[in-house]
Amino acid sequence: MAKRIHIKFNKLGEGKMECRGYKTFRCLGKKGLKYPTDMMINPKKGGVKVNPYFSKEYVCDYAGVTLPCRMNFSILIWGQRGIFIHEWPNPATYAGNGGETGGCIHLDVGNAKLVYDWVDQKTRITFEYPW
């Protein structure tokens, strides 16, 4: 039987990620993005979990040096769009991130590792959003 994650966003893209039978975490996604409402991932097939992952699209400023963003405890959930669940160094809120994400699901430091470790088998992910 697959594990289940349900992600529910508010109109800003702030949300809750419920790992059924485990814990619920604060998260942030991209408001307006039409995430698939129901998907399945399987880390046993490889390539789904990467730690760390370095973005091919986004860059971050590390003490004045611009480099690809490091995304710790990354779980690829939507390969066609390069969308991951991953840790972000700022709070997983609209204001805390300085705005919305590019589409990835941001989790607070510490929580991303918990989700990363918990996703150890086939996992169904469902989304709910007001847009």
Percent pLDDT > 70 in the chain is 100
Helix, strand, coil fractions of the chain, as percent rounded to 5: 10, 45, 45
User: Which residues is 54 bridged to in the sheet?
Assistant: 70
Q: Please say whether the beta carbons of 31 and 12 come within 8 A.
A: yes
Which domain does 39 fall in, by range?
Answer: 3-128
Q: Note the pTM of the prediction, 2 decimals.
A: 0.92
State how many domains the chain has: 1
Retrieve residue 109's tokens: 């430091």
pLDDT (tens digit per residue) in 14-49: 999 999 999 999 999 999 999 999 999 999 888 899
Return the pLDDT at 94. 87
Q: Which residue has the higher pLDDT, 92 or 120?
A: 120
Dist. CA 96–CA 68, nearest whole Å: 20
pLDDT (tens digit per residue) in 55-75: 888 888 788 889 898 999 999
Overall average pLDDT of the 65-91 stretch: 92
Instruction: Tell me the CATH number at 52.
Output: 2.40.440.10
Overall average pLDDT of the 8-17 stretch: 96
Return the pLDDT at 93. 87
Q: Please say whether the beta carbons of 77 and 125 come within 8 A.
A: yes
